[in-house]
Structure 1
């Protein structure tokens, strides 16, 4: 395994890479970090060049001090690593970044696996999500910021915290607390994005979408837009699972991931 930092516009991106073979890039959920991919990183390295990294304002990467673009950060990372074309595996924010990247540089994307995808241009309408966002705006401490994030993107609208695997929740609480403690100032800004919601038909590469059955209606809306408009999209729904599909159902997610990257060899 190798690790390092790549200079991007106004900051640096921390990354790790391992293995050899066709490239696969892992893009993590928002608020968390590349540590959510520990299992998949090890599995993929046996047959692929696998890359994972902390997005701007997350983990060990830089805090944004001005305008930034998550998909351009990804481009600069791949350029720095000498990777021209890759399979992108993204969850939530990571899927949002992957979609923007694929719309901007489609020739650089072999295929995509998108778990619980958000997308640029989406609107939050789910009453549960809207309520938690309001709680975040009123927060006066790190903990008051972290808990609504966990309620939205770990528990989801259909479960209480007690109904979620305590190890999954504890991991997300720890990573979320670390990210917010380190990068809260950068969250005041908004990244430059491409407005993907109405452009899904442009995603002509194979796209596999993984949806947790217990995710919010906002994510359901994005999934519907992708699977109806992207010409080569397929949907896999995992029962009794929320937004963080790879953390809650690692074995099932590994099966899906293996099928996707095997097709990309």
Structure 2
């Protein structure tokens, strides 16, 4: 399967991998400036946005590698938000030659015990979905994952993206041939590419812990804390994240903190 995607600009390829509550639309405010200097590829993973979720086994990292092949991209700087950060790390682990640098925005990680706050969120979301209260589950996600700087238009945009993901994924899970995602184990200490890990001061404690853990275990990784940010800084203050990414991509370490 070739993931639905946008491909803009020329230069060093930059692959933007969206969060698990969003789709490739979350990057729209960043693309015009980034694509002036870089080739910006932003896909919808399976079950998000314009990419369907057929039955059977699949791996998100393999889908990204297939997309890079389709676009004749040998390797890319990979920017991943939340779940997209986890997928970016899986790509680095299973297709290491395809990743030249990582930027992880509040990344998800496998194998780290959740905090009580994270467990409470998961339980609340499960209750709402089991009760067929889709709108309630959407509201819960918007309230949980956006920080204080997100205005009404951003909250409405995230709600639309999360609702779309629920629609696709719940229908697929209820089908006679449900999807079977295959997750790859990631040894953080084996990640050898330059890595910047971003954490938001207003993010859930679980993800703040994960960001610190990733930065500690990836050799040479830089940890950048955004004192204004929640879980999705690219949506909350796109101008600041755009500046951060441009600085990282241009390799200017003196200005990595907006």
The number of residues matched between the two structures is 245
CA contact (8 A) 1:215 1:243 kept: yes
Residue 234 of structure 1 is matched in structure 2 by: 222
Instruction: Verify the 8 A CA contact 2:86 2:109 in the aligned structure 1.
Output: yes
Displacement after TM superposition at 1:32 (Å):
1.1
- TM-score, normalization by structure 2: 0.88
Q: 1:28 to 1:43 in 2, by over 3 A?
A: same
Contact 1:44–1:50 (CA<8 Å) still a contact in 2? Answer: yes
3-state DSSP of counterpart to 2:228: coil
SS in 1 for 2:40: strand
Q: Is the 8 A contact 1:41 1:52 kept in 2?
A: no
Does residue 155 of structure 2 align to residue 169 of structure 1? yes
* Gap regions ≥5 residues in structure 1: 1-7
List gaps (5 residues or longer) in structure 2: 253-258
CA shift for structure 1 position 153: 2.0
What is residue 168 of structure 2 aligned with on the other side? 182
- Give the Cα separation in 1 of the matches to 2:213 and 2:53: 32
1:8-157 matched pairs, under 5 angstroms: 8=1, 12-125=2-115, 127-139=116-128, 140-155=132-147
Deviation track 1:205-248 (CA, whole Å, cap 9, x = no partner) reads 11011111011121122212211111120011111210001111
SS in 1 for 2:215: helix
The CA deviation string for residues 11-59 of structure 1, in whole angstroms up to 9 with x for no partner, is: x410110111110111111131100100222211111111001111100
Q: Distance in 1 between matches of 2:215 and 2:197?
A: 8
Q: 2 CA distance for matches of 1:19 and 1:250?
A: 19
TM-score (norm 1): 0.86
